[in-house]
Amino acid sequence: MKRVLVACGNGIATSTVVASKIREYAEEKGIALQTDQCKLMEVPGKASSYDLVVTTGTFGGDVDTPVVRAISLLTGIGQEDTLQEIITKLEQ
């Protein structure tokens, strides 16, 4: 099972929406995953325990875990491309 950390400014509202969309899309693709949420500033301390970090804002930190910026999952513009990028990174 893959683990995805979803980070937003406060770790509550937008990360909940994004995590839900990622889980639904992954389920459609037959990929089992777990999502957890946090604040952007918590990412450096948590990222190493995850396969992927997805952010709704700009993250300038330095982590070894792949990071995908997913503002499109809130705006809807380019959403399919972002979801596919997430799946591709999880399959690597």
Question: CATH number, domain at 70?
Answer: 3.40.50.2300
- Mean pLDDT over residues 31-42, rounded? 96
Alpha carbons 88 and 24: distance in angstroms, whole number? 15
Could you tell me whether strands 2-8 and 33-39 are parallel, antiparallel, or unpaired per DSSP bridges?
A: parallel
Taking alpha carbons only, the member of 77, 81, 44, 46 closest to residue 60 is 44
Domain count, the chain: 1
8 is catalytic: yes
Judge contact between 79 and 43, C-beta under 8 A: no
* Domain of residue 32, residue span: 2-91
Q: What is the pLDDT of residues 49-77, one digit of tens each?
A: 999 999 998 888 899 999 999 999 999 99
Catalytic pick among 4, 5, 8, 70:
8
pTM of structure? 0.95
Question: Chain centroid to CA 39: how far?
Answer: 12
